Amino acid sequence: MQVRMVATTPFTDQKPGTSGLRKRVQAFRQPHYLENFVQSIFDTIAAPPGAVLVLGGDGRYYNREAIQVILRMAAANGFGRVLVGRGGILSTPAASCVIRKYQTYGGIILSASHNPGGPDGDFGIKYNTANGGPAPEKITEAIYAASKTIAQYRIADAPDDAPEIELDVLGDSRLGDMTVSVIDQVSDYAELMESLFDFAAIRAMLAQGFRIKFDAMHAVTGPYAREIFVNRLGAPADSVMNATPLPDFGGGHPDPNLTYAHELVEILYGDNAPDFGAASDGDGDRNMILGRHFFVTPSDSLAIIAANAHRVTGYQQGLAGIARSMPTSAAADRVAAALGIPCYETPTGWKFFGNLMDAGKVTLCGEESFGTGSDHIREKDGLWAVLFWLNILAARQQSVEDIVREHWARFGRNVYSRHDYEGIPSDAANGVMKLLHERFAELQACPEQGRGGAQFGRLQVKLCDDFSYADPVDGSISTGQGVRIIFTDGSRIVFRLSGTGTEGATLRIYLESYEPDVSNHHLDAQQALATLIGIALEISELRKRTGRERPTVIT
């Protein structure tokens, strides 16, 4: 095997965001772009010679080409073995599962999650550490720093007789001193799921005629969903739709929410709707849960999973604690309080949950952005959440809607919505955030001047700040994680700029209020939050500054 040192110059824009480096496919295709970033990862992690790596992606356009390059670079950088999902495909949760199961040094996941794919779409790459979770900020920062000074990368030349490494046949092949092991990505993951949930009870429920529909959105979960729902749980084959992963996700936007998963939503809200519906995203870590004519808000889903965990096989021993990202509603906090366990509030992004899980402080984690998971792996996990719900449904023998309404009756309802303004000019978005900071003083109470917090109708501001987090395990501090305006009755508005977009800026506004009164629980969230929405638009001057009349996505 011939190893080449290739001279290169840095790119200035290889800063990982909320979840790895995401760019247009065209950006990744620039000469040396992918190689520079991969070498920056290898230089940062300094794996010992012979280390084992996991490699796979969500199957989006450019996945296969990138895997060929990364394998040759891994060989040239001294790795001993790389475990690759068949066809180069691994869902994000399956990658986490495999890293943990085979105790590898780490893994590289190729995905831009829910962002559209195809030649004009997005591509992404992120590094996960030995615990199976996304690299923490200190590593992603070091990778970025390395990318700014890189001068060369190492790559092995492909042998003339085998220019492409075989990815479609299970088993081992050699690349110089390194072994490439193509593994069956579905079976390890399905086995883990079987160890956590009562498959027999779910199978019996399905056999009694309980109907489910899972939308894989032409993305990575199709083969996993078929194996689990159809082969292992006995659901009819048409219970899984859009089940073949396509490099461009069928031209769609593989994000499981009411806007982008409309095909599924129409089925669940149509005549003769199934009892349960669910969808997952491009790389399989997100989930959306639907009942017949009913949508479960992700924040509620986390709370309901926590409140019912004692009914589910793998969680019967109890929960150590719960963690949620700051913008996620406080519904889970109420369950944690009732269970007498801690609830942690972290910045947005799954990487902040890893330390808490490793330290045994939390069992369940969740984000309002359709992410839920537990310490069975170190990523959020779409199919896990779906199975958790099916297990609860099998144990309770009630409809999704009844379960949610009973939950609200017991704990009260944290009415919740998120409004996204996507693709706005960065200047306008930064201007809104700056304005909000400047307004902190006038919005907050000033005891010296004998003035209370600003009053908006019956709502009074209690506090505003830019969220910062001190990790209770390693003490690291993360600042600037979102502007919060909290009112005296506990309602709040949060403003945050997305860290995963690839074009312009995306401003997210998170809205939450608490409604203890059951007679108001039937209200539509947008109706119930109308006053808060008005306040958010007023204090941010959003319409004037962006020229946008309404959000592009409401979840």
How far is 280 from 386, CA to CA, in rounded Å? 9
Q: Considering CB distances under 5 to 8 angstroms, the limit depending on partner class, which of ligand G1P, Zn ion, none binds residue 283?
A: Zn ion
* Residue 364 three-state SS: strand
Tell me the closest approach of the beta carbon of residue 282 to Zn ion, in angstroms. Answer: 6
Catalytic residue, from 91, 111, 113, 280: name it.
Answer: 113
Instruction: Tell me, residue by residue from 310 to 329, as one string, x for binding to ligand G1P by CB under 6 A and - for no binding.
Output: ---------------x----
Cα dihedral value 542, 548, 552, 555, nearest 10: 30
Q: Does 18 bind ligand G1P (CB under 6 A)?
A: yes
Q: List, in order, residues 6 or more apart from 259 with CB less than 8 Å away.
A: 553, 554, 555
Tell me the closest approach of the beta carbon of residue 216 to ligand G1P, in angstroms. Answer: 17
Instruction: Tell me, residue by residue from 362 to 391, as one string, x for binding to ligand G1P by CB under 6 A and - for no binding.
Output: -----x-x-x--------------------
What six digits make up the tokens of 353? Answer: 């949950």
Q: Does 348 bind ligand G1P (CB under 6 A)?
A: yes
How far is 242 from 445, CA to CA, in rounded Å? 53
* Residue 403 three-state SS: helix
Q: What is residue 380's DSSP assignment? A: -
Tell me the closest approach of the beta carbon of residue 72 to ligand G1P, in angstroms. Answer: 29
Tell me the closest approach of the beta carbon of residue 200 to ligand G1P, in angstroms. Answer: 33
Residue 280 a catalytic site member: no
Query: SS in 3 state form for 142-190?
Result: HHHHHHHHCCEEEEECCCCCCCCCCCCCCEEEEECCEEEEEECHHHHHH
Q: Does 499 bind ligand G1P (CB under 6 A)?
A: yes
Q: Which residues of 290-302 are buried (b: 16+ CB within 10 A; e: fewer)?
A: bbbebbbbbbbbb
Tell me the closest approach of the beta carbon of residue 352 to ligand G1P, in angstroms. Answer: 9
**For residue 226, how many C-alpha atoms fall within 13 Å in the half-sphere facing its CB?**
13
Tell me the closest approach of the beta carbon of residue 395 to ligand G1P, in angstroms. Answer: 29
Determine contact, residues 365/388, Cβ cutoff 8 Å: no
Q: Considering CB distances under 5 to 8 angstroms, the limit depending on partner class, which of ligand G1P, Zn ion, none binds residue 349?
A: ligand G1P
Of 44, 113, 297, 417, the one binding ligand G1P by CB under 6 A? 113
Q: Which residues of 482-514 are buried (b: 16+ CB within 10 A; e: fewer)?
A: bbbbbbeeebbbbbbbbbbbbebbbbbbbbbbb
Of 199, 315, 350, 514, the one binding ligand G1P by CB under 6 A? 350
Tell me the closest approach of the beta carbon of residue 397 to ligand G1P, in angstroms. Answer: 33
Interaxial angle between packed helices 298-308 and 331-339, expressed in degrees from 0 to 180 and rounded to the nearest 10: 10
Q: Does 19 bind ligand G1P (CB under 6 A)?
A: yes
Q: Does 28 bind ligand G1P (CB under 6 A)?
A: no
Q: Does 173 bind ligand G1P (CB under 6 A)?
A: no
Q: Considering CB distances under 5 to 8 angstroms, the limit depending on partner class, which of ligand G1P, Zn ion, none binds residue 19?
A: ligand G1P
* Residue 3 three-state SS: strand
Task: Tell me whether residue 367 or residue 381 sits nearer to ligand G1P (CB atom).
Answer: 367
Q: What is the DSSP string of 251-288?
A: GS----STTTTHHHHHHHTSTT--SEEEEE-TTS-BEE
Task: Tell me whether residue 371 or residue 453 sits nearer to ligand G1P (CB atom).
Answer: 371
Cα dihedral value 526, 527, 529, 535, nearest 10: 100
How far is 404 from 325, CA to CA, in rounded Å? 21
Of 93, 136, 298, 349, the one binding ligand G1P by CB under 6 A? 349
Tell me the closest approach of the beta carbon of residue 440 to ligand G1P, in angstroms. Answer: 22
User: Binding residues for Zn ion, per CB under 5 A?
Assistant: 113, 281, 283, 285-286
What six digits make up the tokens of 297? Answer: 């808000």
- By Cβ distance, which residue is nearest to Zn ion? 113
390's enclosing H/E stretch is helix 382-396
Please, which of residues 263-302 interact with ligand G1P by CB under 6 A? none
Size of the site for ligand G1P (CB under 6 A): 14
Q: Does 347 bind ligand G1P (CB under 6 A)?
A: no
Q: Does 346 bind ligand G1P (CB under 6 A)?
A: no
Task: Tell me whether residue 104 or residue 369 sits nearer to ligand G1P (CB atom).
Answer: 369
Q: Does 259 bind ligand G1P (CB under 6 A)?
A: no
How far is 548 from 509, CA to CA, in rounded Å? 14
Query: Which is nearest to 85 in space by CA: 45, 49, 56?
Result: 56
Q: Which window, 65-73, 129-137, 228-236, 497-505, contacts ligand G1P (CB under 6 A)? A: 497-505
Instruction: Tell me, residue by residue from 214 to 233, as one string, x for binding to ligand G1P by CB under 6 A and - for no binding.
Output: --------------------
The catalytic site residues sit at 113
Which positions lie near ligand G1P, rule CB under 6 A?
A: 18-19, 113, 325, 348-350, 367, 369, 371, 498-500, 508
